[in-house]
Amino acid sequence: MSIHEHPSITHCTHVRVRYADTDKMKIVYNGAYLIYFEVGRTELLRACGLPYRELEQAGYLLPVLEAFIRYKTPAVYDDVLDIYATYVLQRSATVRIEYCIKRGEIEIVDGYTLHAFVSAEAMKPVRPPSLFFDAMEKACVLRSQMAGSGDGDVCSKVGGY
């Protein structure tokens, strides 16, 4: 089964570019996109019924193992950006989140982050907890049902927008 045959869930989060996110030219600093990826990832988990705080309280952390960003066109101060974070449901040792950041219909960047679960106490890799897969599977089913009914806005607003 290819990755495209697995169920997936996408969540969109809106952010407004802050002055602090820009460089001297008022263009979004390249490293700020990793922060936007984190916002997208955090809000995706929250929308799936599993806020990152609950993972931490259950004794798990989800550090980044790898990150990739492809820059397409710059974003500037005061732009409203849509951060699309997508998780393709796969029961594997790592978790890959895909991102696409847009300003309207214009694609600004795309990329991904790759994560592994670690024990918060021992700081050693562990198998992904069932609470993660249970939440993601349930969210995929719910989103699929909502998409079929025409309901279900998957966007949230963050950062004063």
**Residues whose CB is less than 8 angstroms from the CB of residue 76 and which lie 6 or more positions away in sequence, other chains included:** 17, 22, 26, 27, 28
Please give the Cα distance from 29 to 76 (Å, whole number). 9
Return the structure tokens found at 91: 């029961």
Please give the Cα distance from 22 to 152 (Å, whole number). 33
Three-state SS at 50: coil
Closest CA to 115 of 68, 159, 47: 68
Sign of the dihedral through C-alpha 71, 83, 80, 161: negative
Known catalytic residues?
23
